[in-house]
Amino acid sequence: MDIVDKICAEAKPIDNNGTIPENQQPVMKTIRIID
């Protein structure tokens, strides 16, 4: 969840709907599950 919190904290929406311009949307490139 730490990464989600970081993404949310760094997001800069451009309107009241929370819209993020496409070129600024975060992209997760890999997911690693540690059990």
Q: How confident is the model at residue 28, as a pLDDT?
A: 85
- Rounded-to-integer distance, Cα 7 and Cα 1, Å: 10
From residue 9, give the alpha-carbon distance in Å to each of 22, 25, 34. 17, 13, 24
Q: How confident is the model at residue 34, as a pLDDT?
A: 92
Q: How many CB atoms sit inside 10 A of residue 7's CB?
A: 13
For Cα atoms 27, 18, 33, give the angle at the middle one, nearest 5 degrees.
35
Q: How confident is the model at residue 30, as a pLDDT?
A: 92
Evaluated on CA atoms 18, 24, 25, 26, the torsion sign reads: negative
- Residue 15 lies in domain: 1-35
pLDDT tens for 1-35 read: 788 899 889 999 999 999 999 999 988 899 899 98
